[in-house]
Amino acid sequence: MTTDTKPLPYLPYPRFLLGADLTQTAKVLYAVLLDRSNLSRANGWTDEDGNIFVVFPLGKLADMVDKGPTTVKTTLTELEAAGLIERRRCGNGMPNRIYVKQPDSQEIDRLMDRKPATRQPENRPSDSRKTDRQMAGKLAPNKISNSNLKNNLSGVSESARIFGCYGNVFLTEAEVAELQADFPSVWQEYIERLSEYMASTGKTYKSHAATIRRWAKEDRRKGKGVSDYSCKEGESL
């Protein structure tokens, strides 16, 4: 490079992100959204209160950061929990509006000081997309309570990775491979069903892989597809 060299196209990457207690995916995603908000500013995309918003369909956002949609959903939840974005629904079939927030000095200090009680590998997508490029990272905040998260982590292997839209399903690579082989067309749907069920009821299971396998076999025996399957009273551990 010389003094005349033109810089390459780049994303704005605020310095506070370097020390923020966020997953690497969250940091990159925030930079992408911040860059898009600058484009929205130039195009006059503001709401009735004058706030700039971003419209970024999930699939395109996933392609932009080279992650699967499930990982991006979890990461957006992490950014929202950290107070760095706000999402507002725009109706059926319409992508959400995303408002990118710029933290003040006190909020930056809070982001630098956060100390999650549990560290786990960063979320891998359960949608068969770009799984070979996922890197291990930190557990992303999700919509379940800390107590439920602690219960879900009880007895979980250190090699387990996080799955599900609520980030509360834990499976090892071997367990995922077995589920893919035994239930190739529906294994992802059962992961999401289990994630939603545990988040909505607060119930936990000793083995998520065994629970998914039991549900799938039971539905297969009954000749049903993916159903709203729940355990009987007293089966929750």
In the predicted model, is pLDDT for residue 236 greater than 60? no
- Whether 197 is covered by a domain: the verdict is yes
**Looking at 61, 84, 117, which one is the last position of a domain?**
117
- DSSP-assigned beta bridge partners for residue 53: none
Q: What is the CATH number of the domain that holds 43?
A: 1.10.10.10
- The pLDDT assigned to 39 comes to 86
What is the rounded average pLDDT of the residues 7-26?
A: 89
- Whether 170 is covered by a domain: the verdict is yes
Whole-number Å distance between alpha carbons of 37 and 30: 10
- Whether 133 is covered by a domain: the verdict is no
- In terms of pLDDT, which residue wins out, 177 or 226? 177
Residue 94 and residue 161 share a domain: no
Residue 109 and residue 42 share a domain: yes
* Local structure of 8: helix, strand or coil: coil
Burial of 127: CB neighbours in 10 Å, binned 0-12, 13-18, 19+: middle
Residue 230 and residue 169 share a domain: yes
- Whether 136 is covered by a domain: the verdict is no
Residue 184 and residue 86 share a domain: no
Residue 237 and residue 156 share a domain: yes
- Whether 3 is covered by a domain: the verdict is no
- Whether 137 is covered by a domain: the verdict is no
Provide DSSP, 131-194: GGG-----PPP-SS-HHHHHHHHTT--TT-EEESTTS-EEE-HHHHHHHHHHSTTTHHHHHHHH
- Whether 130 is covered by a domain: the verdict is no
- The pLDDT assigned to 134 comes to 39
| Beta carbons of 151 and 189 less than 8 angstroms apart | no
Q: What is the domain extent for residue 160?
A: 142-237
User: Whole-prediction pTM value?
Assistant: 0.49
- The pLDDT assigned to 93 comes to 63
CB neighbours (10 Å) of residue 189? 16
Count of structural domains, the chain: 2
Whole-number Å distance between alpha carbons of 191 and 212: 7
Give the pLDDT confidence of 17-63 residue by residue, as tens digits: 998 889 999 999 999 999 989 888 888 888 889 999 988 888 888 88
Choose the weakest-confidence range: 12-16, 72-76, 139-143, 225-229.
139-143
Q: Are strands 161-163 and 85-88 parallel, antiparallel or unpaired?
A: unpaired
- The pLDDT assigned to 150 comes to 42
Q: Are strands 97-100 and 54-55 parallel, antiparallel or unpaired?
A: antiparallel
Which H/E stretch holds residue 209?
helix 208-221
In the predicted model, is pLDDT for residue 160 greater than 60? yes
Residue 158 and residue 111 share a domain: no
